[in-house]
Structure 1
Amino acid sequence: MVDELDALQQQKTWNLVPSTTSMNVVGSRWVYKVKLKDDGNMESLKARLVAKGYNQLPGIDFTETYSPVVKLGTIRLILSIATLKSSSSSLIQDFINKLHAKFAMKDLGVLHYFLGIQVSTVSTGLFLQQTKYVVNILKCSGMHESKPIKTPLCTKTKPDPDSPLYPDPHAYRSLVGALPYLTLTRPYLSFSVNYVSQFMHAPIESHFGLVRRILRYVKGTINLGLHIQAYSSLDLYGFSDFDWAGCNITRRSTTGYCTYLGSNIISWCSKKQPTVSRSSYEAEYRALAQAAAEIMWLTFILRNLDVPLSQAPILFCDNMSSLFMTINPVFYARSKHIEVDYHYIMERVSLGLLVTKHIQTQS
């Protein structure tokens, strides 16, 4: 605890001021945690001094709250760049020394475990996997001895509408809530996890059957993960697609996209669209707009990291009508209901910040 207090004072975390009657003094408390290694053994005991934020009064102690959250795509982007540019040991050491001079930190050596992710250094780059996390989920759900299955979801999934309500909705929400973090190294689970997450409010027995199927698939692929290539280009590109009116209940479409930096996948998404699309053309263009926004965000990150792109990012799409609309304003007259998405992509294509290209559906 003494080390923690010394670190807080060195970082000038607070300013000491005289107490007045008009102040609402917020107390503090110690939070203790056991930090574990990737094999489950204890690594260290940690102590943190935190403020009792729950005693604060809105409008008196604060007007708004902000919690800095790092997007998972940022982590994968940083790892990809670090893997691609890690050939100079002197440059890495110089960077570490600069961090030491500015922040109170310690060098933990070669990356091997962080955020519940096991990292292995291989000859071609890095391999990320979540074996320990998978084992914990399977044990908590009682599925650690289940029989593996080859696919996480059926091609045509339609839960039985006559199926009774699941008797323990809290357990369903707890289990499904643990699955999104598993997609950090498994992009192919995104659609399945997104689908079962849509029934958190009132799950039925058949919905839980779908969750069990996902866990059976994970059981059979427990050692799979994400490979970050060390020998790759720095070209940024993405792929966009959609499932038109795929939801049997609301008939909303599902957006799907993924982005790459060279041969390394950086971010991906499978998400139901907020409104019903009256045509497949409209659904595709909405998906295209979301993918374009993701690519633009990645270009901002690369620019801040001083990583230049040799060419404008490329966004691939298999719908010719949507591609024509990104460069031809004549199509706008019959598509006023997607005005915002139209202007967003059209502007970036006209400025040369984005290139859209066709790709065959079979590809």
Structure 2
Amino acid sequence: MKDLGPLHYFLGVQVTRNSDGLTLSQAKYALEILDRAQMKDCKPMGTPMMPKTKGLTSDVPFPDPAHYRSIVGALQYLSLTRPDLAFSVNFVSQFLHSPSMAHYKMVKRILRYLHGTLDTSLHFSSHSTLKLCAFSDADWAGCPLTRRSTTGYCIFLGSNCISWSAKKQNTVSRSSSEAEYRAMASTTAELTCISFLLRDLGVTLPSAPILFCDNLSALHMTANLVFHARSKHIEIDYHFVPERVALGLLHTRHIPASSQLADIFTKPLGRPALQSLRTKLGLILRLSLRGTIDDNQVFTPTATKPNMETKATQPQSYQDQRQQITPTDTKAIQGNNTQRLQS
């Protein structure tokens, strides 16, 4: 073995260290993807997918399926540091076997969103606690083609988002409670694996992990050990989650749907909601000459210098994670930075 010194760049991930912690970025890798797709000069977009995207039934096949698979595969690796791309990339990945022109149009929109957010990076704060918590959500029958639900979750170690997932469920759920409960089971399995990993690394958790869910029926099933007629078909997941709760290895809590951080992994969101959740997940945007993003306008240059990082306050508690950050506040911050640079 050989000591190569502090980590700066590894497998396409650029690592920046400062007094606040670590920042992970894949800007160079993202530029390579845009160059491969011949979209380095494309018009940026504010969201990776249109809200309320319906099923695509285009019969016009894409002429180069290998190119489609190459771009989507590269985007899958890019989501390693970009949780805001998880749902959209998972959606277009479902058509790798037979992509159509409509599917490639969606991929191009993701690339246009990527072009507008090249300076976005994932931040890990060094001033964080070791409390483990997770947010679980499901979009019931969200797929218009198969009517399967989408499971989405994100797991935090203190204020740092360390794991996330957006995945279509294997079977059709007959109720929203069942879909939410299956999402809780998947999240619980990931929490269990992370707990074992931290234990092997010598990290002691101060308390049992907390799982937040916005569905009261699913939460009641984790505490009620009496089977109901409409829940007998999910007995495997039913036994798994209450067992962890009964042993004191997991606590479940209810949160309102408006505070659900995992919502970004289950459905396409509008620009205000996407920006708010993106900030809460620890994604920060460095101000550069690219300017601001607009769905209908091309970037306009600003008077900021490239590679200048904005100070994003990381949440120190679950209440801080659910604070709303409006687009008006973001514009005010950018305006103050511009005035200081001009002075």
CA-to-partner distance for each residue in 1:156-211, whole Å, 9 max, x for gaps? 11254244111111111111111111111110110000000000111110100000
The 5-angstrom pairing of residues 1-363 of structure 1 reads 105-363=1-259
Aligned length: 259
- More deviation, 184-193/156-165: 156-165
Deviation at 1:330, TM superposition (A): 2.3
Q: 1:107, CA displacement in angstroms?
A: 1.3
Match of 2:332 in 1: none
**Once the 2 structures are TM-superposed, how far is the Cα of residue 292 of structure 1 from its aligned partner?**
0.4
Q: Please report how far the alpha carbon of residue 334 of structure 1 lies from its aligned counterpart in structure 2 after TM superposition.
A: 3.4
Residues of 1 paired with 2:55 and 2:135: CA distance?
29
In 2: Cα distance, 1:245 partner to 1:334 partner:
17
Post-superposition Cα deviations, 1:197-244, rounded to whole Å, max 9, x if no partner, equal: 000111110100000000000001001010000000000000000111
Query: Structure 2: which 5+ runs fail to align?
Result: 260-343
Contact in 2 for aligned 1:316/1:358 (Cα 8 Å): yes
Aligned partners of 1:253 and 1:276 also within 8 Å: yes
Higher normalized contact order (CA 8 Å, seq sep 6+, divided by chain length): 2
**Percent of matched pairs sharing the same residue:** 60
Give a deviation string over 1:127-160, Cα, whole Å, max 9, x none: 1000110011000110111111100001111254
Q: Distance in 2 between matches of 1:273 and 1:333?
A: 22
Measured in 1, the distance between the counterparts of 2:44 and 2:226 equals 52
TM-score (norm: length of structure 2): 0.74
**Cα RMSD (Å) of the superposition?**
1.0
Given that 2:58 and 2:102 are in contact with CA atoms closer than 8 Å, whether structure 1 keeps it comes out as no
- Do the aligned residues in 2 keep the contact of 1:325 with 1:332 (CA within 8 Å)? no
Instruction: Specify the code of the residue in structure 1 equivalent to 2:148.
Output: R
8 Å contact kept, 1:258–1:268: yes
> For 2:258, what is the secondary structure of its paired residue?
coil
Deviation (angstroms), 1:270: 0.2
AA aligned to 1:258 is C
Long gaps (5+) in structure 1: 1-104
In 1, Cα distance between equivalents of 2:56 and 2:249 = 46
Give the greater-gyration-radius structure (CA).
1
- Whichever residue aligns with residue 17 of structure 2, its letter is T
Per-residue CA deviation, residues 331-361 of structure 1 (Å, 9 max, x unaligned), is 5453111000000001000000000000110
- Tell me the SS of whatever aligns to 1:143: coil
In the superposition, the TM-score normalised over structure 1's length comes to: 0.70
